[in-house]
Amino acid sequence: MVKMKLVKCVQLVLAIVFIGFIVHGSNAAFSPVDNYLIACGSSQNVTFQGRTFVPDSKKSSFLLKSWGDAIVSSSNSSVPSPIYQSLRVFSTPASYKFGIKRKGRHWVRLHFYPLPDPGHNLKSASITVVAEAFVLLNNFTFKNYNGSYLFKEYAINVNSNCLIIKFIPSNNSVTFVNGIEVISIPDELLPDQAQALSSPPLFKRLSDLALETVYRLNMGGPLLTPQNDSLGRTWENDGKYLHINSSAVNASVNPETVKYHVPVTPETAPNWVYATLESMGDPNVVNWNFNMTWVFPVDPKFMYFVRMHFCDIVSRAPNSLVFNVYINSDMAYPSLDLYAIIGGLGIPFYRDFVSNSSTESGILTVSVGPDTMADNSNAIMNGLEIMKISNDARSFDGLSSIHGLLPKYHSHSSKSKVGIIIGLAVGILAAVLVGLCSCCIFAPRSKATQNHLWLPFALNGNSQTMTKVSTTSQKSGTASCISLDSSNHGRLFMFQEIMDATNEFDENLLLGVGGFGRVYKGTLEDGTIVAVKRGNPRSEQGLAEFRTEIEMLSKLRHRHLVSLIGYCDERSEMILVYEYMANGPLRSHLYGTDLPSLSWKQRLEIFIGAAKGLHYLHTGAAQSIIHRDVKTTNILLDENFEAKVADFGLSKAGPSSLDQTHVSTAVKGSFGYLDPEYFRRQQLTEKSDVYSFGVVLMEVLCGRPALNPVLPREQVNIADWAMSWQKKGMLDQIMDPTLVGKLNPVSLRKFGETAEKCLAEHGVDRPTMGDVLWNLEYALQLEETSSALAETEDNSTNHIPAIPFTPPEAFDHSVNMTNGVNLGTDDAVDNTTSTVFSQLVNPRGR
């Protein structure tokens, strides 16, 4: 019975998949997922080139702020086309924000026409436009421009859930825009790499760059408008770019006869492009130099993506057309034999290249000429597209990047897809891990924090005033945003801004789920990528942790602490906005994912980064701060694998005076990382963090969870298990198999001693974070020196190289080294620590 049902079910699924496939396959017309056509400043729909542009009214979802003024032309006759009849003028930077349902390349098309405006001279207005961290236009003005209107088309890869197009006026002036289009492009249309006419021969990672269409030609054919192209492109006739008019003659066939073969589809280019061409004016002239050349003025400071379209509609017999293709005077494609490549006539074909302009004068030429080896000397071209590639400043105009144009702009640049995938993987992992072993709170919660009403709080000491203000505003039912000194506490976000940044908490952007709530990837209006942590309103512990996190993080700024960008407490929300860490938690790089294994050197560098962060916490601020929740999920890695300590929700100010040695507190933290002494005595010191850090060290060395209940009893707790091996001096027996043979035993020994001291039973026996840092730096130096030596000495792994040791100077606070580890000598193992605590086996302590 069950089997039958299963079979039926499988059949059904297959049928659905199959139907889906057929439908997909036969679905000829491309319909873009994202398709915005906006007539700025208009009060009614505008039909232009067969498409309907809708007004950017206040009701629409895409305009963010700064409405500016709408200006509508009073007479139709003087305006080149309907889309230019209205525009919107801005005197302050203004953004249009478009929700993106499908990530990937999008057309961004902009229409400008300076209508007469009594208030401003729009002809001299400066137009600067930025989008997705790219500068599209920079200080453009119609004053020095020959045309009456300006049309721009860009292909921009959007990797987040929204695209913001920002219009920036220059000082004391205005800027304007008439029409905007944002439309999805099929993924297959634009490649990630293309042949370069220089070394290296392949131009890679095109997807990270933006493109601007500068020329798009239908050789020998009529003008094609967006009505004739399923992707809304315009193709113009090539006549005016031909170097020598008489060198070419056009030919055409019925467009219906064009036979598309995958990968070329009608989206690559409409059949009208392939059905017409230019061929050699006098094909049988026997002149080796004879060719057909198109000349294009370009900006010499940029590189260009060049796509050539071919379709042999003139040959009568196979292999009769063989020709050379040149860009500038370089051979781009020698002896191109279309029939040999595609095996038929009348079948479209295209080739992509990346090239510079030929000279400093800024001329790019494309030529086709007969191959001298061919019997029949002819050459053809059907279509040509030339697109400018954004430069190193991510600009299409000059060297000022978006940073220069927007003074407070922090771009983390567009993250690669890898980052997103990692983020998602991390998110899922974090969700699972949190579900398995979440923060545990032993002590009864303080009733004071069990307030279901979200009351605003004070951070500056003048709490009464602020509380009063916000209480009133909450009663009146409006947003209860407290005003904080923004320079000290990060930015206060409106809830709407957070909604926009995260596409209304789109689950596709979920990075992780924790005890506190959910973490989303977001994009701020200025393009900054952030991590948005949204507290669960029903989480009772949340409120206290939320406050702690803001209080702690707003006091702290350090390269190895995750920085808080701002927060939002509107509408009972508890939202924290952090810098985005592209490589996610350290743990996700250790086990349970497919991420590449970290090398020993990388691991040491990560330890050192995290240790610097903790050392700063303990010593850098006026009052020392104890993190209380040091673990591998709270050490995050940025795009360069630099470690930063995160999650200060449980942090606690340390002993405030010298005679006070600890803080009495309820035990909080995570299983597997808890300091046994703290657990027993409920007395918190910085050394509790040192213990947890010791667990992290072992976890990272061994590449296994701190607690793994599935393992045999003696192996469950990594602190116990690794210590027993460390005492035998055989840590290498249990380390991550991917490290075996790839690290220096001397470095490992130094590391093992350090970890062992961190895991000492009694806090007083543990080193300070400063000492730990110093030792880890030493272990790294041993690793680096030995790998350098290994290149000259083959048996170097079996003896300690006599290297001159220079103490590392990487941390800025002076460190007390007297009570710490004694460097360079083999300290006897402290045997009093034999009864190492195991939380799982022995969960007492209340």
> How many helices and strands, by DSSP H and E, does the chain display?
15, 42
Cβ neighbours of residue 551 closer than 8 Å, sequence gap 6 or more: 459
Stretch that binds ligand NAG, among 50-58, 541-549, 727-735, 743-751 (CB under 6 A): 50-58
Q: How far is Cα 668 from Cα 679, in angstroms, rounded to an integer? A: 9
- How far does the chain reach from its first CA to its final CA, in angstroms? 54
The answer to whether 687 and 668 are in contact (CB under 8 A) is no
| Minimum CB distance to ligand NAG smaller for 390 or for 685 | 390
By CB under 6 A, residue 91 contacts ligand NAG: no
By CB under 6 A, residue 354 contacts ligand NAG: yes
Segment 316-345, which members bind ligand NAG (CB under 6 A)? 326, 329
SS3 813: coil
- Closest-CA residue to 212 (of 134, 309, 145, 101): 134
SS3 488: helix
| Minimum CB distance to ligand NAG smaller for 273 or for 581 | 273
| Minimum CB distance to ligand NAG smaller for 229 or for 720 | 229
By CB under 6 A, residue 685 contacts ligand NAG: no
Burial of 45 (0-12, 13-18, 19+ CB in 10 A): exposed
By CB under 6 A, residue 178 contacts ligand NAG: no
Q: Residue 644's beta-bridge partner residues? A: 636
By CB under 6 A, residue 40 contacts ligand NAG: no
Residue 349 CB, nearest distance to ligand NAG (Å)?
Answer: 21
Residue 627 CB, nearest distance to ligand NAG (Å)?
Answer: 44
Binding mask 142-171 for ligand NAG (x = CB under 6 A): ----x-----------------------xx
- Phi/psi for 156 (5° steps) reads -120, 135
Residue 220 CB, nearest distance to ligand NAG (Å)?
Answer: 5
Residue 350 CB, nearest distance to ligand NAG (Å)?
Answer: 18
Which residue pairs, CB below 8 angstroms and at least 24 apart, start in 314-318? 314/251, 314/277, 314/279, 314/378, 314/380, 315/339, 315/345, 318/345
Which whole-number Å values give the CA distances from 549 to 468, 604, 637, in the listed order?
A: 23, 28, 19
Residue 491 CB, nearest distance to ligand NAG (Å)?
Answer: 23
The answer to whether 214 and 139 are in contact (CB under 8 A) is no
Tokens of 478: 């409006």
Residue positions annotated with a catalytic role: 629
Stretch that binds ligand NAG, among 352-360, 647-655, 661-669, 766-774 (CB under 6 A): 352-360
Q: How far is Cα 568 from Cα 557, in angstroms, rounded to an integer? A: 20
By CB under 6 A, residue 239 contacts ligand NAG: yes
Residue 147 CB, nearest distance to ligand NAG (Å)?
Answer: 9
SS3 46: strand
What is the rounded (10 degree) CA torsion for 34, 39, 42, 47?
A: -100
Residue 74 CB, nearest distance to ligand NAG (Å)?
Answer: 6
Q: Is the omega angle on the peptide bond into residue 263 within 30 degrees of 0, that is, cis?
A: yes
Q: What is the gyration radius of the CA atoms in the chain, in angstroms?
A: 33
Q: Which of 159, 161, 268, 355 binds ligand NAG (CB under 6 A)?
A: 355
By CB under 6 A, residue 515 contacts ligand NAG: no
Q: Which of 173, 195, 265, 293 binds ligand NAG (CB under 6 A)?
A: 293
Binding mask 200-229 for ligand NAG (x = CB under 6 A): ---x----------------xxx-xx-xx-
Q: CA torsion sign, 155 to 158 to 162 to 167?
A: negative
| Minimum CB distance to ligand NAG smaller for 66 or for 660 | 66
By CB under 6 A, residue 378 contacts ligand NAG: no
CA angle 529, 530, 533 (to 5 degrees): 155
Q: How long, in residues, is the chain?
A: 846
Q: Residue 784's beta-bridge partner residues? A: none
Residue 295 CB, nearest distance to ligand NAG (Å)?
Answer: 11
Q: Which of 70, 197, 314, 431 binds ligand NAG (CB under 6 A)?
A: 197
By CB under 6 A, residue 367 contacts ligand NAG: yes
Residue 644 CB, nearest distance to ligand NAG (Å)?
Answer: 34
By CB under 6 A, residue 289 contacts ligand NAG: yes
By CB under 6 A, residue 41 contacts ligand NAG: no
| Minimum CB distance to ligand NAG smaller for 333 or for 339 | 333
By CB under 6 A, residue 76 contacts ligand NAG: yes
Q: Report the residue closest to ligand NAG, judged by CB.
A: 198
CA angle 395, 398, 404 (to 5 degrees): 70
The site that binds ligand NAG (CB under 6 A) totals a number of residues, namely 40
By CB under 6 A, residue 139 contacts ligand NAG: yes
| Minimum CB distance to ligand NAG smaller for 54 or for 440 | 54
Residue 533 assigned as binding residue: yes
The answer to whether 382 and 311 are in contact (CB under 8 A) is yes
- Closest-CA residue to 556 (of 494, 484, 479, 616): 616
- Closest-CA residue to 561 (of 617, 633, 613): 613
By CB under 6 A, residue 362 contacts ligand NAG: no
Segment 262-281, which members bind ligand NAG (CB under 6 A)? 272
The answer to whether 674 and 625 are in contact (CB under 8 A) is no
Give the residue numbers of the binding site for ATP: 533
Site of interaction with ligand NAG (CB under 6 A): 45, 50, 52, 54, 74, 76, 126, 139, 141, 146, 170-171, 196-198, 203, 220-222, 224-225, 227-228, 237, 239, 245, 249-250, 272, 289, 291, 293, 303, 326, 329, 354-356, 367, 369
Give the residue numbers of the binding site: 533
